[in-house]
Amino acid sequence: MVAIARASMAPANVIPLDEPFEGLAPAVVQAVLDAVARVRECDHRRASGG
């Protein structure tokens, strides 16, 4: 999860995720999916000017 956080700090249009759920508990997997969805939603709002 630290790698995902570090990658999200850099300005980029694409963040490649290579096996982001390996070794994570199912509850943590859902938390990561939720966080990625929130980042994506925020990025879409920013791109559309809203």
Task: Say if CB 32 and CB 16 are below 8 A apart.
Answer: no
CA separation for the pair 3, 18 (Å, rounded): 10
Read off the pLDDT of residues 1-48 as tens digits, 9 standing for 90 and up: 677 777 777 777 787 777 878 888 988 999 988 988 888 888 767 777
- Residue 25: predicted pLDDT: 92
A 10 A CB-CB count for 34 gives: 10
pTM of the entire predicted model: 0.59
